Amino acid sequence: MSSQGYKRTNFEEDDYASNGGSAPPADFPSAVAFRGRSIGLHLWKNRTPCEKILFVCVGALLLHIFIIAGLLALKESRIGDLRAENKRFCLTPECVNIASTLLTSMDRTVDPCEDFYEYACGGWMKNNPIPSGHSRWGTFELMWQKNMLVMRNAIDKPDSSFTSTAQLKAKKYFQSCMDEDKLIEKAGPKPLLDLIDGLGWGINISAWDHGWEIDSRWNLNKMLEDVHLWNVASLFTVWVAEDDKNSSVNVLQIDQGGTSLPERDYYLNKTITEDKILSAYLKYMVTLFQLLGAPNETFTREQMIKVIEFETELANITTPMEDRRDESKLYHSYTLANISRSFPQINWIHFVNRLLNVVNLRMLPTERIVVYAPEFLDKLNTILASYVSTEEGKQILTSYLLWDVVSDFAGFLSKPFRDAKKEFMESMSGLTGSDEKWHNCITDTDAVAGFALGALFVKETFVGGSKEKAKEMIDNVREAFISNLPNLDWMDPVTRAAAIDKANAVKDMIGYPSFILNDSLLDIRYEKLHINETDYFGNNMDSIRYNFFRTFEKLRQKAEDEWAMSPPTVNAYYTASKNTIVFPAGILQAPFFDKNVPQSLNYGAMGVVMGHELTHGFDDQGREYDKYGNMKQWWDPEAVKRFTNETKCIIDQYSEYQLHGEHEKGKQTLGENIADNGGLKSAYNAYQKWVKKNGQEQLLPALGMTHEQLFFLSFAQVWCWNSKPETDHLQVLTDPHSPAKFRVIGPLSNSYEFSDVYRCSSKSRMNPKKKCEVW
């Protein structure tokens, strides 16, 4: 490069400035670089070794500073990104845990628009086989097992920790059931034989190798009274409850009954030699009598075959459940005198007053009785007339009544009796293996002293604020239900206004009755219950007497709102005659209800349960009761016709569903199906209103799902279930609820919101063109 060129650079700074920042000549950078390198190399060569080392260290330090500064800037940027991400996602331990639970319960290989039940529950069903001692296993059973553990830990505490005698009675009963001293086994059949001897029928089972001795003292009415005093429902059922047409008073009520197997279909068009259930039933009957000392197996078998034949006659005159849904048609008012004249084979005046004598009451012939099955009683009267006319018939009736006593109480005896029952239940429900004994004993204790045990449970689990949050959710679901009524084109304005009035009048009972936390009131509740920790059979007999007393003493009392379920129960219910919905503390827990998880999950699970119970007040049976719980016509007649047309769609839809090749009974399950569909819609709309008021919730991690999608997922996973084919068959025959899968598939198939949220095409199975809508 020429010296002239180089000299130009001596004036470059001024020229650059004077030119207003114009660029230097093209060769300026290279000239500067060359000059810098030459000067730098000269200076470096003249440095001492120490100075060189110092320069290297300083350079390295500066390089590290630059790198760290860059990393810090990058980290700060990443932290900002993470902070933004944290605002989108809920990363609390509760949210992470529930996200994991939801994810592992799913089967994401299944298309949610083809089978949402498998999509939501496939993983759960694979990972939760039915445990030993159970014939079905689902979310409800898991929650009950959790609740049982709470109760077990509470009841195992020292006596000094209990604050009431009622709680101590619960503990003593549990101890008698656990039977650590083997007193139940040592007693064998004796407790039941003593009870039979105390009936005064002159029956000696150990000498039973021919028909029962029938003489002039034989009295059907006395024998029938004897068994009903032990709360055994022979021939028919009788109880005291609020009057459907005047819910402020209690009335004696009678209905059909008398068969030991749970449904008439188990008897009809069957033969003992060919039918699996009847064959197992006969074997069970013979086994129990042999365990009680019957000496002749062949003769005992012959007698029990005759009992089955008699029960088959009762089954033939029993009206199927699916034909008993119109409660206004079932209701018939009789006076005691009229029922005695209409069905004279039973001395009803004597029968009723002997039962009421236990509670020091007496019914006059002019007083009312409600009969729900007069046709059954009329046909029963004819059957009894033919049986009491012959000695053989009287022997069969005696064997039948005795069998009812034996079958009801044998489960309280020693292990051979319980094993015989378990073997029979295996044929009925597919039950195999044995559950832990303490599980059975806690369940029994809950049945005998549920509010005393429930007091311990509530103190352990029902945290402050739970009632208030549940109440808020109920009110939101109710508001959503009411807001949807104008969208129903089958409702006229008058009926709609009455429905709004009834919905607003529905009372809610949440958690537990207040008296259980008052030791004095709790003790009064169980004052007449006597418990001995060394007498399990006696305790159950006393419990039966106690419940009989509590039922029949209500006849002269004003009808009150009562809890039909104990606080630890994992369930909920609606009482039409009181227009009341009830949610025990046992179900107000995760996964149904958890204040620490997104509300989409709470509304999808517990919100739907609440909507379900609320909708029961407007299903095919609940609609027959007004806002006060009285059975009356409060709808416009034309609205009733349009409602019935809408329900036919539900009946037809569910009747098409099949389980193991067996069609569901759409008429029998109608009320529950209406409630499932209405509950889902009300809860979803309630959640949408909650979001509008409170804003969008943080997403759950790893799922990649919106909260609207999570709502439906949460709803479905409540019904994740495994069950034996025998249990499924039993449910189809006897249960007013649809099987778990159809409780998911049915309502979602009718939901436009579900199809929109999961983007289901019009050709997918979960988005049929025809949808059923009642509420």
**Residue 683 CB partners (closer than 8 Å, separation 6+):** 477, 480, 603, 604, 607, 608, 610, 611, 711, 715
Q: Using one digit for the tens of pLDDT, what is the confidence trace for 659-668?
A: 999 999 999 9
Shared domain for 274 and 407, answered yes or no, is yes
236-243, strands of its sheet edge to edge: 236-243, 246-256, 368-371, 332-335
On whether both 240 and 272 belong to a single domain, the answer is yes
Q: What is the pLDDT of residues 686-721, one digit of tens each?
A: 999 999 999 998 999 989 999 999 999 999 999 999
Q: What is the pLDDT of residues 156-201, one digit of tens each?
A: 999 999 999 999 999 999 999 999 999 999 999 999 999 999 999 9
- In a domain, residue 159? The reply is no
Q: What is the CATH number of the domain that holds 388?
A: 1.10.1380.10
Looking at the structure, tell me whether residues 195 and 317 fall in a common domain: yes
Q: What is the 3-state secondary structure (H, E, C) of 77-109?
A: HHHHHHHHHHHHECCCHHHHHHHHHHHHHCCCC
What is the pLDDT averaged over residues 75-104?
A: 76
Q: Would the pLDDT of 55 be above 70?
A: no
Please tell me the predicted confidence (pLDDT) of residue 64.
65
Average pLDDT for the chain = 89
Q: Decide if 285 is inside a domain.
A: yes
Write the Ramachandran bin of 190: left for phi over 0, alpha for psi from -120 to 50, otherwise beta: alpha
pLDDT (tens digit, 9 = 90+) per residue, 206-264?
999 888 888 888 999 999 999 999 999 999 999 999 999 999 999 999 999 999 999 99
Instruction: Write out the residue range of the structural domain in which residue 381 sits.
Output: 179-434
- What distance in Å separates the CA atoms of residue 467 and residue 584, rounded to the nearest whole number? 10
Note the pLDDT of residue 59. 63
Tell me the range of 40-54, 206-220, 633-647 where mean pLDDT is highest: 633-647
pLDDT-based confidence at 370, cuts 50/70/90?
Answer: very high
Residue (of 305, 267, 304) closest to 288 by Cα position: 304
User: Which pLDDT tens digit goes with each residue over 302-342?
Assistant: 999 999 999 999 999 999 999 999 999 999 999 999 999 99
Q: Closest Cα partner for 313 from 262, 376, 392?
A: 376
603 to 101, 130, 609, 691, 692: CA distances (angstroms): 17, 28, 9, 11, 14
CA 569 to chain centre: 8
Asked if the model's pLDDT at residue 142 lies above 90, the reply is yes
Q: Are residues 187 and 98 in the same domain?
A: no
**Residue 535 and residue 409 share a domain:** no
Going by pLDDT thresholds of 50, 70 and 90, the confidence category of residue 7 is very low
What is the spatial distance between Cα 223 and Cα 218, in angstroms, rounded to a whole number? Answer: 9
For 526-540, the pLDDT digits (tens) are 999 999 999 999 999
User: For residue 264, how far is the Cα from the chain centroid?
Assistant: 25
List all residues 6 or more positions away from 468 whose beta carbon is below 8 Å from its beta carbon: none
Inform me whether the pLDDT recorded for 83 exceeds 90.
no
Tell me: the pLDDT tens digits for 436-452? 999 999 999 999 999 99
Q: Would you state the pLDDT for residue 210?
A: 84
pLDDT of residue 34: 34
Confidence of residue 51 (pLDDT cuts 50, 70, 90): low
For residue 85, being part of any structural domain is answered with no
Looking at residue 206, its pLDDT comes to: 92
CATH code, domain with 625: 3.40.390.10
Radius of gyration over every alpha carbon of the chain, rounded to an integer in angstroms: 37
More confident residue, 40 or 133: 133
Res 22: pLDDT: 37
The H-assigned helical ranges of 156-219 are 165-178, 183-187, 190-198
Q: Which amino acid is at 150?
A: V
Instruction: Mark whether 118 and 254 lie in a shared domain.
Output: no
Q: Same domain for 204 and 278?
A: yes
Distance between CA atoms of residues 421 and 475, nearest Å: 45
Place of tokens 């009894």: 384
pLDDT value for 9: 32
Q: For residues 347-361, give the mean pLDDT.
A: 97
Same domain, 527 and 586: no
Residue 361 sits in the same domain as residue 229: yes
Give the CB-side neighbour count of residue 442, counting CA atoms within 13 A.
23
pLDDT of residue 458 exceeding 80, the answer is yes
Evaluate whether residue 389 is within a structural domain.
Answer: yes
Nearest-angstrom CA–CA distance, 45 and 551: 112
Are 476 and 609 contained in the same domain?
yes
- Tell me, yes or no, whether 340 and 234 share the same domain: yes
Strand partners of residue 243: 246
Residues 483, 415 share a domain: no
User: Does residue 78 fall inside a structural domain?
Assistant: no
User: Is residue 412, in this structure, part of any structural domain at all?
Assistant: yes
Which positions ≥6 away from 471 have C-beta within 8 Å?
508, 510
Mean pLDDT of 594-602: 92
Q: Is residue 31 scored above 60 in pLDDT?
A: no
Provide the pLDDT for residue 74: 58
Q: Record the tokens describing residue 386, joined without a space.
A: 């033919």
Dist CA 593 CA 587 (whole Å): 8
pLDDT beyond 80 at 464: no
Express each pLDDT in 88-102 by its tens digit.
888 988 899 999 999
Q: Is residue 520 part of a domain?
A: yes
For the chain, percent of residues with pLDDT exceeding 90: 81
Q: Quote the pLDDT of residue 212.
A: 84
The residues assigned a catalytic role are 613, 676
Report the alpha-carbon distance of residue 199 to residue 138 in Å, rounded. 43
Query: 23: which residues sit within 8 A by CB, 6+ positions away?
Result: none
Question: What is the share, in percent, of the chain residues with pLDDT greater than 70?
Answer: 89
> How far apart are alpha carbons 663 and 124 in whole angstroms?
25
Confidence of residue 72 (pLDDT cuts 50, 70, 90): low
Within-domain flag for 307: yes
pLDDT confidence tier of residue 149, bands split at 50, 70 and 90? very high
Tokens linked to 754: 């579900």
Total domains in the chain come to 4
